[in-house]
Structure 1
């Protein structure tokens, strides 16, 4: 009975650790933050205390919600475009050596271009609004999805492809039934890398121009000396990034339940 109780306790701790450990580490960070502000008497305009940031989160929660919804919409729409376009181009690169040789060097070169330098030009080309920000999301997060898709499709074991051909499966059926499912773990790895980058792209686009979004709140609050509000917007962005990342993780576990069973 004691062994059974101990086993249940260990299982409970293991199940709760993904929640308890981040909460504990967040509490440690907040404690160190508060201690540094008090011990070194840091001016509020440079670094507000956690209590002041929480106060701004509560006081301006409606404004932060409205502006956060704008940033969330830009991120999700841009990430959706990135996913579709990245899967298509990555599949084309994996299927054709000509497409690979014609596009990969340019993709690498374009990925090396600092996207911050393109943000003002996107505003000029696409005007103010969501369009340049969504375009920035796509530009920032596109490369990991293409790379993961092409690498995943190329990693299909030759034995599986030959087995499909021995059953007279067409090239499209082999792709749909063998190559694409086998590549999904790597594709989701690229999506998990691209999701935080998509949020960064939305923020970069908002900094470049416009009067909506959480980056606009950060910009105006910093210019007005309200550092606590700027930190509150950063906290909302961080929570949004966590939620979006784990949404992709949840989708991966929903679609690929077999991955955890067959990997160490």
Structure 2
């Protein structure tokens, strides 16, 4: 008689096999980040070369690098650093809050399907409104401080997480859920042991997609409302025709989004290796 065991969660012991696998995957993630940065610089240089821009308002990757590293730009680097830290804080909080909110609502949808049927169309209708059009209203409600910026950058994180995780929770094989039920597992235990591990790939895919969007959301809020961060710094640089600072701020936002994406990919590799549901479990 064949003995059937409940669906398992992979929790590899801290042995050399896991460390070796994680190290190789992290190395691949780092290589991908380098390739991404080099590709962006190559496209940037190509477009600058081909575009009909004067030397006054165009900057190449090497010119931006010189602006960031030259000894005569210490004050400018300090301004850029402070603005970057503000944008990192705004985007990070928005990403965290939006992801948690999307995950919680997805779990509520899974637990109460009637709630999903009534709420999801409203959520999708709200998502169709351009963020730039919603920003003034959000700032009016939540003020120009950190809360308003967090709401704006969190919105773009919330919807991908909600949709993907809700779909992943519904896509868990019925046989796995039935097996847990046959073993007398409660709905909460089935959620923790089966549904959440199956939804981890969808959750991380959502975060990877939403991370650059959270940076854009933070930048948009800073540009339109708060008077802080890289968004506002770019606005000031544009008015002052300080193209060195403006191009450098654009580069920081772009490469920061690439780096954030790769950091999340690295975390994803480690977490999925250790905790994702094992499709080969028997």
Is TM (by shorter chain) over 0.5?
yes
> For 2:103, what is the secondary structure of its paired residue?
helix
Written as runs of structure 1 = structure 2, the 5 A alignment for 1:166-205 is 166-205=182-221
1:28 and 2:39 matched: no
Aligned residues: 248
Determine which structure has the larger helix proportion and give its number. Answer: 1
Between the aligned partners of 1:21 and 1:213, the Cα distance in structure 2 is 27
1:57 and 2:57 matched: no
When the two structures are superposed, what TM-score results if normalisation uses the length of structure 2? Answer: 0.80
> For 2:184, what is the secondary structure of its paired residue?
coil
In structure 2, the residue matched to 1:47 is: 58
Equivalent in 91, 95, 111 of residue 79 of structure 1 = 95
Say whether the 8 Å CA contact 2:102–2:161 is kept in structure 1: yes
In structure 2, the residue matched to 1:96 is: 112
Structure 1 pair 199–29 and aligned structure 2 pair: CA distance change class (3 A):
same
> For 2:226, what is the secondary structure of its paired residue?
coil
Structure 1 pair 241–97 and aligned structure 2 pair: CA distance change class (3 A):
same
When the two structures are superposed, what TM-score results if normalisation uses the length of structure 1? Answer: 0.85
Between the aligned partners of 1:149 and 1:23, the Cα distance in structure 2 is 30
Equivalent in 124, 129, 132 of residue 116 of structure 1 = 132
In structure 2, the residue matched to 1:159 is: 175
Higher RCO (C-alpha under 8 Å, 6+ residues apart): 2
1:18 and 2:29 matched: no
After superposition, the CA RMSD in angstroms is 2.5
Between the aligned partners of 2:34 and 2:62, the Cα distance in structure 1 is 22
Between the aligned partners of 1:257 and 1:44, the Cα distance in structure 2 is 50
> For 1:100, what is the secondary structure of its paired residue?
helix
